Amino acid sequence: MARLEDKVALITGAARGQGAAAVRRFVAEGARVVIADIEDEAGKALADELGDAAVYQHLDVTEEDGWAAAVAATVQAFGKLNVLVNNAGILHFSALEQTALADYERVIKVNQIGAFLGMRSVVEPMSLAGGGSIVNVSSVEGLAGMPFLVAYTASKFAIRGMTKVAALELGAKGIRVNSVHPGMIDTKMISDAVGGAEVDFSPITKRLPLGRVGKPEEIAGVVVFLASDDSSYCTGAEFTADGGATATHALKV
């Protein structure tokens, strides 16, 4: 039996990159998936590729009405909602003193408020389904700081904290809530944040115990575990997949 047989999942930021990798893995594991994103063309193409097991839903995660519509569309399409993956996120590089308020608020609104709205929106349908799993994608920047990422780091620390609060509140409803903390993953998010330029990862990979950046599919494997019944006793926890980045401290050279 596939690990996600009979599960229905809503995955945000799912049209490309890490989100799309999760969608493909979920479908391969037997789930039916709603692909939620603002990238309509890419999202629809992915849904067409995967056939009846997936549908696309436009969702701006910062909008309450959008969340209500996405949850309703999920239940209408597949009859229930068991899994939410809060994957949508954006990145912004700037020194603290050069960070505009508008840029800070934009990152917080997508990464932090989007995750909050998502968790709040699925409590009722998951409760009706007898429980479920919420997987919040944080980052290693939710475990420790990184220069030039004040807004992103703030948002990812917030996701880590909100995950624990939600786990405490929702456990009695049979809803588990965990956070995933990827390290450097090879997706377009980083190049997009620097204006589309090609990024040289080699200075970073030299400092990682595994000596390479991660692949989106490797994060998808962790997310599948947390969505599945294999993780039935896991809630309020942090799952790090970072090639060993957080295994050291600042005194290492």
Tell me which residues are annotated as active site: 152
- Adjacent-strand bridge partners of 107: none
Taking residue 188's Cβ as centre, other Cβ atoms within 10 Å add up to: 12
- How is the beta sheet containing 83-86 ordered, strand by strand? 54-58, 32-37, 8-12, 83-86, 132-137, 175-182, 238-241
Q: How far apart are CA 83 and CA 225, in angstroms?
A: 12
For Cα atoms 180, 240, 96, give the angle at the middle one, nearest 5 degrees.
80
What are the angstrom distances between the C-alpha of 13 and each of 106, 126, 209? 16, 20, 29
| DSSP secondary structure letters along 30-71 | T-EEEEEES-HHHHHHHHHHHGGGEEEEE--TT-HHHHHHHH
Judged on CB neighbours under 10 Å (0-12, 13-18, 19+), 253 is exposed
- Adjacent-strand bridge partners of 94: 149
Tokens found for residue 101: 């308020």
Q: How far apart are CA 157 and CA 88, in angstroms?
A: 15
